[in-house]
Amino acid sequence: MSESAKLTIGSQEIELPVIRGSEDEPAIDISKLRASTGFITLDDGYGNTGSCKSDITFIDGEKGILRYRGIPIEELAEKSRFVEVAWLLIHGKLPTSEELRGFSDLLTQNQNLHEDMKHHFEAFPAMAHPMAILSSMINASSCFYPGLNDKELRVDRFPIHSARLLSQVRTIAAFSYRKSRGLPILYPKPELKYSENFLHMMFSEPYRDYQMSDVVVRALDLIFLLHADHEQNCSTSTVRMVASSQANMFASAAAGVCALWGPLHGGANQAVVEMLEAIHADSDDGSRFIRDAKDKTKGKRLMGFGHRVYRNYDPRARIIKKACDDLFDALEHSDPLLDIAKTLEKAALEDDYFIERKLYPNVDFYSGIILRALGIPTEMFPVIFAIGRMPGWIANFKEILEEPHSRIYRPRQIYTGQVNQSYVPVDERS
C-alpha cells in the first residue's frame, strides 16, 4: 500500500503522497498542494525542500556519509582520480579502461581556448578577482560553440560540450591567475594529465618547466575530487535553476561560479585562511576568536565550521585533514596556520556552543592550508573549488537535459509589501 501524509487546514483534510529515496529518505510530495488547497509552503533557505529527484550524490548529514553514485567518498579518495570520478558522476558508472582513455583524450583535444578568447583576458583590470574572470570567460566561451543553444544538438553534442567545459575551466582559471600577476599565458601540454597541466599552466615559466612532484599533483587532484559534487548546494541548485529555463551548459555553469563565490559557500576556503592569518597577526591562540564567533553582536563566524546538511564531521574534512598532515610530512613543510587551525578545531569541538549546534569542521577548514602549501594564492582558492565542482554541475545539468518532463524552476513567495495603492503625481507627494 502506498504511504501518505494527512494535512488538515481548517475543516479541509487532504492526503499527500509520501515518497522515499533509494536510501529510504522520506519526503511528502506537495506538488499538488496549491492546486487543491490554494496554500503554498514557506521554507526560508530551502532547508526542508527537496527541489528535485537526483541519482548522482547521496549525503546522510547525521551520519557523515557522502557517496558519489553509491560509492563512498573515502574509497574514491583512496583509489580513484579526479578525471575518473568526473566520468563516474557525469555518466553514472565507473568507466571501462577504454572509456576512461577516450574521455582523457577528449579532455586533451579540447583543452585549448579559442585563440580569440585571449583578447577578452586583456580587458580585465589587474586586480580583478579570478572568480569574476572565470564566470565571465566561461559564459564568453559559449559564443564560440554553435550548437550549444540548439535543443537537438545539445543532446547529441553533450559529450563534446561537457569535455570542453571540464577541460577549459582549468585553462581559463590558470590564464586568469597569470593575467592577474602580469605573467605571459602558458598553453596546456597534451602529454600532461589533468591536474599536472593545471600546475604547469599556473607555475611554469616560459623557459623553465614547473618541476612536477607526485605528492603535490596527488594533493591537488584529491582536492578536485573531494569537491566534485555535493548534491543540491547553493551553486548546484543555481546551475539547475538556470538549466531549467533551457539555457546552455556554459551559461548554467557560469551562474554556478557566481553562486559559489560567496564566503558562505565556495569562498569559505579563502575566508578560512584569511581568518587564520588575522588570528596569527593578532597573536591570538584562537580563544579570542572563538569567543567572538559565539557572540552574535560581533558578526564573526568560525569559517570552515558548520554545514546545512552535516550535523556530524564532514567526511571530506577528515580526508583533507589527513592529506594535509601527509603533504606537510612529505614536503617537510610547516605553517603556523596549520597549528592555529588544529587548536581552533580542538577548542570548538569541546565548546558547548559548537556542540549544541552540531557545528563541525567542513571541507573548507583544512583545504586552504593545503592549497597554500602548493603555492596557490588565496584569491584562487574558490577557483580551485569551481574546477573541482564542474563534474557535479555538468552531471546535474545532464539530469535536466535528459528529463523529458523537465519543468522550469519557479518558486512562489509570500508577498509582504504594500497592498493595492494608487499612483500619486510627483507634485502631490508629501
Q: What is the 3-state secondary structure (H, E, C) of the chain?
A: CCCEEEEEECCEEEEEEEEECCCCCEEECCCCHHHHHCCCCCCHHHCCCCCCCCCCEEEECCCCEEEECCEEHHHHHHHCCHHHHHHHHHHCCCCCHHHHHHHHHHHHHCCCCCCCHHHHHHCCCCCCCHHHHHHHHHHHHHHHCCCCCCHHHHHHCHHHHHHHHHHHHHHHHHHHHHHHCCCCCCCCCCCCCHHHHHHHHHHCECCECCCCCHHHHHHHHHHHHHCCCCCCCHHHHHHHHHHCCCCCHHHHHHHHHHHHHCCCCCCHHHHHHHHHHHHHHCCCCCHHHHHHHHCHHHCCCCCCECCCCCCCCCHHHHHHHHHHHHHHHHHCCCCHHHHHHHHHHHHHHCCHHHHHCCCCECCHHHHHHHHHHCCCCHHHHHHHHHHHHHHHHHHHHHHHHHCCCCCCCCCCCCCCCCCCCCCCCHHHCC
Which of residues 114 and 357 has its CB atom nearest to ligand CMC in the complex? 357
Q: Exactly one of 362, 371, 374, 390 binds ligand CMC (CB under 6 A); which one?
A: 362
Question: Which region among 35-43, 128-136, 212-220, 299-307 touches ligand CMC (by CB under 6 A)?
Answer: 299-307
Which amino acid is it at 387?
I
Q: Are 372 and 335 in contact (CB under 8 A)?
A: yes
Supply the minimum distance, in Å, between the C-beta of residue 135 and ligand CMC: 17
364 is catalytic: yes
Nearest CB to ligand CMC, comparing residues 204 and 343? 343
Does the protein bind ligand CMC through residue 308 (CB under 6 A)?
Answer: yes
From 307, 333, 351, 405, the catalytic residue: 307
Minimum distance, C-beta of residue 95 to ligand CMC, in the bound complex (Å) = 26
**Please, which of residues 44-63 interact with ligand CMC by CB under 6 A?**
45
Looking at the Cβ atoms of 76 and 317, the one nearer to ligand CMC is: 317
As measured in angstroms, the least distance from the Cβ of 276 to ligand CMC is: 13
305 binds ligand CMC (CB under 6 A): yes
State the nearest-atom distance from the C-beta of 306 to ligand CMC, in Å. Answer: 2
Closer to ligand CMC by Cβ: residue 95 or 306 = 306
Footprint of ligand CMC on residues 342-361 (CB under 6 A)?
357, 359
Residue nearest to ligand CMC (CB): 306
* x/- letters, 251..290, toward ligand CMC (CB under 6 A): -------------xxx-x----------------------
Query: Can you tell me which of 120, 301, 311, 342 binds ligand CMC, judged by CB under 6 A?
Result: 301
292 is catalytic: no
Residues within window 158-197 making contact with ligand CMC, judged by CB under 6 A: none
d(CA 327, CA 160): 35
Phi, psi for 127 (deg, rounded to 5): -90, 10
**Interaction of residue 386 with ligand CMC, rule CB under 6 A:** no
Q: Choose, by CB under 6 A, the member of 161, 179, 307, 398 that binds ligand CMC.
A: 307
One residue of 95, 188, 286, 304 binding ligand CMC per CB under 6 A: 304
Nearer to ligand CMC, 83 or 228 (CB): 228
Q: How many residues bind ligand CMC (CB under 6 A)?
A: 21
| Residues tagged active-site | 307, 364
Residues forming contacts to ligand CMC in the complex (CB under 6 A) are: 45, 230, 233, 264-266, 268, 293, 301-308, 357, 359, 362-364
